[in-house]
Amino acid sequence: MDNVERESIRIVLADDHAVVREGTRILLEREADFSVVGEAADGDEAISLVGQLRPDVAVLDIAMPNTNGIEATREIKRKWPQTSILVLTGYDDDEYVYAMIDAGAGGYLLKDVPAEEVLHAVRAIHAGEPVLHPQVMQKLMDRASKPTVENLEVSAPKNGISARELEVMKFAALGLTNSMIAAELDLSSRTVQTHLRNIFAKLNVSSRTEAVVQAIKIGLVEVE
């Protein structure tokens, strides 16, 4: 029992609709490796709970009373950057998508996704992998001057990022997982994770999603 508890992914849920929180909690707690440690009905409560409980993942809606999900995400990532943020919302408006990613969210799902995608998303962002609803990914790509994935190329080293880190960044931008990047570059997954941490620090971001967006925006990953 104690071993299971130590290995569980600890989660805080924040949504102003009690029935949504209840349904999400039931879904998550069916999984042996998940533990919902707290629930919040608004952004202020979400910030407070994350501060008290230090969960691995916070699942947040955007439209909440008092402090909204965008401001809550920004505050949580500022104070407790080790907590990953998964957005689970009904909104796919451009301004919400951009604001949540810029605030530090590591994943963004719409509430119309199948239940298994939510489960996968929690595990993925806890492992440092980006999770984006297809519509959201398209918006981010459009924001970065509509790059064509097949034509992504790595620019010369800049911003203090090494050539190897840029190679890792290229594959991250293509959506490959850490293990897939490791296979492509003949590295260990741990080495890839280390490169990504270094990239996060150099780009002043806290998630793969932010790193990819920032890399495209500043020209680290370019379209020819």
Kindly indicate whether the domain formed by 2-133 is annotated with CATH number 3.40.50.2300.
yes
What whole-number distance in Å separates Cα of residue 10 and Cα of residue 38?
A: 9
Give the helix/strand (H/E) hosting 71.
helix 69-79
Q: What percent of the chain has pLDDT over 90?
A: 42
Give the per-residue pLDDT at 141: 64
What does the block give as tokens for 160?
Answer: 């203090």
Q: What is the pLDDT of residue 82?
A: 93
> What's the Cα-to-Cα distance from 162 to each of 87, 167, 169, 196, rounded to whole Å?
31, 9, 10, 11
CATH number of 144-223: 1.10.10.10
159 vs 120, higher pLDDT: 120
Task: Give the residue extent of every domain in the chain.
Answer: 2-133, 144-223
d(CA 139, CA 94): 7
Nearest to 74 by CA among 102, 98, 53, 44: 102
pTM given for the model: 0.64
Beta bridge partners of 38: 12
Residue 182 structure tokens = 């490791």
The dihedrals phi and psi of 222, each to the nearest 5 degrees, come to -120, 165
Whether 150 has a pLDDT exceeding 70, the answer reads no
- 162 versus 224: the higher-pLDDT residue is 162
> Does 157 score more than 50 pLDDT?
no
